[in-house]
A and B are shown apart, each in its own frame.
Chain A
Amino acid sequence: NAGVTQTPKFQVLKTGQSMTLQCAQDMNHEYMSWYRQDPGMGLRLIHYSVGAGITDQGEVPNGYNVSRSTTEDFPLRLLSAAPSQTSVYFCATTRDRGYTIYFGEGSWLTVV
């Protein structure tokens, strides 16, 4: 049972490049979300989805796009990478509102 799978685990980007962080889950959860974690800032919600075809912005959405064409996949796109986007990114799923959050193993992104 893979749970929540994120790829890549590590990535170095140059300023201005674009890339996509992939997230796939096999738990048939409706709710998926992306967080970034920075030192001293905790986990901050970037975007979330309550089901296929539905997405919404979280606390820090600027510079990121998401889509949810299937229940299983929720990719996060960086449109034009900036050094301020250097962070650890976590994809997460939950069965329903207020239930336990399951996290992927994280993606370490450095923008130079």
Chain B
Amino acid sequence: EDKVVQSPLSLVVHEGDTVTLNCSYEVTNFRSLLWYKQEKKAPTFLFMLTSSGIEKKSGRLSSILDKKELSSILNITATQTGDSAIYLCAGWFGNTGNQFYFGTGTSLTVIP
């Protein structure tokens, strides 16, 4: 069973649209959730969220975790072509080791 599930798998929008990406996670031993943006190369860090429910913001991007729903959303407002990328969500589970599990990612394409 997948510990982290992202939806949708892909999304195509027009510049200026607002998009919402979803990530659900398994509750067992959950500790934190991270969002990454991946263009042609390695993923780059966006946000880290915990069950505290505090919203994180950076420019046009924002994210929050809902511990009741066991999910997180990543919002991007006024999208630009530079937002086109794969957005990855990763959950950290457990007290030992380096047990990050990634979702399959959401591929976002922003059309001019």
Q: Could you tell me which A residues sit within 8 Å of B by CB distance?
A: 31-33, 35, 40-45, 48-50, 56, 59, 90, 94, 97-106
Contacts and interface: CB of A to CB of B under 8 A. Distances in A.
Interface residues of B, number: 25
Interface in B33-57: 34, 36, 41-43, 45, 48
Secondary structure of the A contact surface, majority rule: strand
B32 A42 contact: no
B95 A42 contact: no
B98 A42 contact: no
Contact of B98 (A43, A44, A94): A94
Interface string B1-33: 000001001000000000000000000000110
A45 B42 contact: no
A31 B96 CA distance: 11
A43 B90 CA distance: 9
B42 A105 contact: yes
Contact of A103 (B9, B32, B43, B104): B43
B97 interface: yes
Contacts of B98: 31-33, 45, 48-50, 94, 97
